[in-house]
Structure 1
């Protein structure tokens, strides 16, 4: 019986040691998980690099000049004087393309307004529709990018 008691004591000692080992490893694992969760969701200044903020795009305005355009009218006596400026994201190749294709772009704009009656361009609440139509005509002629906005800096109907 004495031998049996020694074996029981040996098993109990190794079982207790095993329990302590599991508790310590479990605590370390739980601590590591908590640490990485805090690091992931909160971050630690100086440890996690700051996220770079995206710079807002830089825009460039290109004047397409002033034009006098006859409007579609029964007696042909009404016309529109318009000055158009386009806005693009700063891009040297696109700027150059617009300058090279300026005659085609201006012709497209003229064709848009030649098909309009006075009622189609006035009141100025129709301004947005006209700008969208002009924008489509311009962008259809460009290959290296697109025009973002169209501005009418002069708009007189007589």
Structure 2
């Protein structure tokens, strides 16, 4: 007789655990559903803004230059992209002017020191590159310069 009440108690325990899991799962689903609706409204707005401001990037390839540090021989290795609005004329012009643009970039980067590539100062270098590259272009202007794989050693 003592075995039957144990089986009954274990069945009740399993049912209670299952009901608890169903309740917690339902609450989690409801919370995710409500949060998903709020997130969808926010992301729809930001997606609309992203579509309105499409930017094309073009790789100027990797540059490896010596820096002007006097205390030690240092070099910079960076993969550079230029960003601009959608403009097919500018696409072809940048491809045609790539050697000239790369030369301007290399000359500018060679005049820098390792300390110039701190996070706070690197934006100034990007602005300087934009002001040096844009006069070369006649069919449009670049808006951004992006550094990828930046290595100072």
Q: Does the TM-score normalized on the shorter chain lie above 0.5?
A: yes
In structure 1, stretches of 5+ residues that fail to align are 1-54
Can you list the C-alpha shifts for 1:102-126, whole angstroms capped at 9, x where unaligned? 00000000111111111222x2211
Alignment of 1:72-151 (within 5 A): 72-74=68-70, 77-121=73-117, 123-151=118-146
Q: Please tell me whether the aligned partners of residues 55 and 84 of structure 2 are also in contact (alpha carbons under 8 angstroms).
A: yes
Instruction: Look up the match of 2:59.
Output: 63
Structure 1 moving runs of 4+ over 6 Å: none
SS, match of residue 84 in structure 2: strand
More helix by proportion, 1 or 2?
2
Q: TM-score, normalized by length of structure 2? A: 0.63
User: What number of residue pairs does the alignment pair up?
Assistant: 105
> Closer, same or farther in 2 for the Cα pair 1:79/1:142, shift >3 Å?
same
* 1: CA distance, partners of 2:129 / 2:66: 16
Q: Which residue of 1 aligns with 2:41?
A: none
Q: Name the larger-Rg structure.
A: 1
The superposition leaves residues 34-62 of structure 1 with CA deviations (integer Å, 9 ceiling, x where unpaired) of xxxxxxxxxxxxxxxxxxxxx72432111
